Every structure is written in C-alpha cells, then in structure tokens.
Amino acid sequence: MLKFHFVRLASLAVAILACVWASSVMAEVKVTNAFTDNAVLQRGVPVCVWGTADAGEKVTVTFHGNSVEATACEAGCWKVQLPAMDGTFEGQDLVIKGAANEIVLKNVVVGEVWICSGQSNMEMPLNSWGQSRAPKGQPFVPRLACTEEELNGDFSFIRFNREQHETAAVENKDVHSAGWQLCKDGAQKNCTACGFHFAVAISKVLNVPVGLIDSNWGGSNINSWIPDYGWDLVPETVQPGKDLLAKRAADMAAGQPCGYHHAGGMYYAMLAPWKNYTVKGALWYQGCSNAGEGEFYYFKQKAMILAWRQIWGDIPFYWVQLANFRAQDPNPNEAGWGFVRNGQTMCMEVPKTGQAVIIEAGEAGDIHPTDKWDAGNRLARWALAKDYGIQGIECCSPMLESVAFDGAKAIVKFNHVGGGLVVAKNTEREGITCIEGTPNCFAVAGEDKNFHWAEAKIVGEDSVELTCADVPAPKYVRFAFQNNPTDVNLYSKDGLPATPFRTDK
C-alpha cells in the first residue's frame, strides 16, 4: 500500500515538473516594434496588428472596446485586424495576450498615418541639425525649420516614429527605431520638419491625431527606395536600371554587404518592416541625388509609386518638387535642375498623386532650405482637398495648359489658376502679397532653340503674353527652368507659385 502511494506521488511530481518545464520553454507572444507606447492607428479602415508566438498559440488583441483573436501559424506568425475606428485624441491601452504573457502598450490613439520618406530635406528635423548661419567668429545661431513655440511646445497630437538608418538586400523582419514619440517637451526637435508642418495643417482641419512614419536618409538615391520588383516597371533604356540589381548581387557574392548605394537597400531595411501597417498615404521629398539624370527621374519615381502601392494598396502619393538652389544665372539656356523638376512634374500623370511646388522657397547657398512650412502646408493642401474632401482648397500650382504663337507673340495658358494669376511675393506663413510689376522667369526661343528672356504680362485670369525683341518668331517657351530662377513672382491668387515648364522637347 505504501509502495502504491509512493508511485502515485512520484508520478504526480513528474507531471508537475513537466508542466513547469513546458511553461518555462513556451515562447512569449510578441508584437512587431511598429507598435509601441504612443502609437497612432489609422482611422476609418480595418487595422492590421501582427507579431510572433508559438505555433498554434491563441493570441487575443484588445483595443478601443474591440477584441479579436488569431492563432499563430506553423512558422509562429500571427496577424489580426481590428475593425474600423473613429479618430480620437484619447489614448488607450492596446493589449496583446498570449498563453504565457501579456503586452500592454500605453497611450495609443486613432488618427491619420502618413509615411514620410526621401532624402535629407525630408529627414531634416525641426532643429535643422543645429546648423548655424552666424558669420565666422560670431555666436552660434540655430537654423530652425520652425518657430520656438513649435520646437518646445506641446504638439502631442502629432507622433512620429523615426527609423534607424540601415540597408538590407532582403526584408528586415522588424522595425528598428526608438518607437513612437510624442511631439512635446522638445522631443519634436528630431521629427521631420516637412512632415510636422503637414501634420499640424491637416490635424487643425480634421481634428484628429496624426502619426508620421519618419523613414528617410540624407543623400539617398531614389534607387535605394525601389524594391526589386519595381525595377520591372522601369524601361531598360533608363540607365542604370536593372544593372543596379546585378551590381548588388555581384557585390554581395564578393562578400560585400548591401550598402548605401545599392538598389532597394533602404526600402528593404527601413520601409518593408512597415508593409502590414495600415497607412493613409505617402509623402516624398527627394531628387537632389538624382538631379543629373534629368527627366529620366520620371520613370524611377513612377515605378516606385506603383511598387509601393503593391504593398500599401492604392494610397495617395504626394511629393515636394526640388526648390531653387545655387547662384542665379543670367543665361536662360542654363537649365540645370529644370530637367529633373520637369521629370517630377511628369509623374503627375499617375492617378492619386500631387506635387508641392516650392520654386521660390529655396536658398541659393544651402541645399537644405529651412522653409519647410511652405513644403508641408502645400502637401497638406493636396491631402485635404483630394483625400479628406475639404471643399474650397486649391491644391495644385498653376500648370502649363497650352501655348499659342501669333507672330511675335507667345500666349501661355495655365490651368489650376484658382482665383486667377497674379504677380506677387510670398512671405512664409503670411501668404502672398500682390506687388507691382510683370511676371519674371519666362524665356522664348525660335527654331534654333536659343533662349532669350521675354517680356511678360498677364492677360485675363489664366494667360501670360510673351514678347522678345531678340526672337521675332518664337516657337518654344520655358518658365523658371534654371537651377535658381530669379525672383519667381507668378502665383495663383490662392498663394501657389506657377509650375516650372518647358515646351522644347
């Protein structure tokens, strides 16, 4: 009898130890680092949440009065969809519960989520990297891309998640960042300035929080942001095209890691980990590193837009056209960045896209203009008008519609003129002020395509008449087509500068 009880006790002890051991080796449920305290979830549509757990483990995600379950697949991955929710400033707990543990993310809100990508002018934070304009030997003067209030105030309705700089030839499995940050107590000094001003503008109208996926890298080439399958959309004639993929493969076969200059490297490292995150749209500010490719830029940007939409769906995509830069040149035949700007404009043929023209908001001596307010607010016009249905907002800068030639005259007709064309001067944040004078930056050429500056005057609400004594029979027109066109002053009454263009092809 004693032996029987001993055997039963021994068996019970083994069973208990087995349960304890099983519990100790059970993997904890995890959620991707895209979700942290202070995260912003996209309103109005189902929201994806995902992570890892033991194969077959049941995972429950609870948020905003909703609770959904998923079972981890054989590879240990799980994914749920929270139902569509209204926007709210009230932070709540996002709870992920597995068999062995529970994750509680604090102060999660629902609002609008936008990707902010590109090179240094998108990366440029509100404190502008602390650069100085002070003369040599003078006290340091910060180059802020905002006001002191914006740098230090409470803008916690804006949250940003700044990606760590890295490259990869295959998709990173998780987000590498410090998590979602509130724009308050000075933390916003590290937030994309362009994205911040965009967020302030749309939040003010929509009355919801805004989240910015701050994934960008100064000096980066657009090639680094195009995934491999995107290169199938780039014509073979566009150099360097698919040669870049072969170069990356050859370099890696030779033992080199995927680097800053390799095609797709930044996309796979810094954007692919966000591919399941539900977003509203994308903002893009890049082109300086591709300026030498001129209008070929069109093919690459178009391919990138279409490739990204294979990941995030048919999202709107808005970009900032390159600003004026470098010394002004009196020769109208010196185009410089005019060609790459034209390539950017050509991309507007892609549906659900838009361009913020800032041809008068740059700086001759700095490729990083501090006026990110105009860039962000002009991007916001596109989103408010096209994606949020706000009436009465003109979002598009005046664009060339047609040119008619009548003897010595050229009549340039614009569309998207809003209340009409005016000669004006822009003052950041204060809008435009109409001034005396005639439009600058127009040039005409005859059959020889040798351009000369033209005299211009506004005729009607949407047209400009050009004449030039040196070109008695004009055939071609350019407008603001130089690196830094002199004193661009043609605007719509809605405060948007006319878009640079050329008709000589």
The pLDDT mean for the chain works out to: 93
**CATH code for the domain in which residue 222 is found:** 3.40.50.1110
Tell whether pTM > 0.75: yes
Region at 447 (left for phi over 0; alpha for psi -120 to 50; beta for the rest) = alpha
What count of other Cβ atoms lies within 10 Å of the Cβ of residue 218? Answer: 16
Q: Which of 338, 364, 387 is at the close of a domain?
A: 387
Whole-angstrom distance, CA of residue 42 vs CA of residue 277: 9
Structure tokens at 5: 């009880």
Whole-angstrom distance, CA of residue 198 vs CA of residue 206: 12
Q: Which of 387, 422, 452 is at the close of a domain?
A: 387
- Answer whether residue 393 is part of any domain: no
What count of other Cβ atoms lies within 10 Å of the Cβ of residue 69? Answer: 12
Please report which residue ranges of 418-467 form alpha helices under DSSP H.
Answer: none
Average pLDDT over residues 167-178: 97
Q: How many domains does the chain fold into?
A: 3
- Establish whether the linkage from the previous residue to 240 is cis, with ω within 30° of 0: yes
Q: What is the pLDDT of residues 63-89, one digit of tens each?
A: 999 999 999 999 999 999 999 999 999
Whole-angstrom distance, CA of residue 420 vs CA of residue 398: 9
- Answer whether residue 178 is part of any domain: yes
**CATH code for the domain in which residue 51 is found:** 2.60.40.10
Both 316 and 217 in one domain: the answer is yes
Average pLDDT over residues 481-489: 96
Structure tokens at 410: 């050229």
Q: Which of 109, 144, 167 is at the close of a domain?
A: 109
Both 102 and 131 in one domain: the answer is no
Both 103 and 123 in one domain: the answer is no
Both 271 and 417 in one domain: the answer is no
Question: Of the candidates 455, 437, 441, 425, which has an alpha carbon nearest to the alpha carbon of residue 502?
Answer: 441
- Residue 16 in this model has a pLDDT that exceeds 80: no
Cβ–Cβ < 8 Å for 384, 393: yes
| Residue 505, pLDDT score | 87
Q: What is the pLDDT of residues 302-333, one digit of tens each?
A: 999 999 999 999 999 999 999 999 999 899 99
Counting every residue, how long is the chain?
505
Structure tokens at 47: 């929201």
The whole domain housing 88 covers 30-109
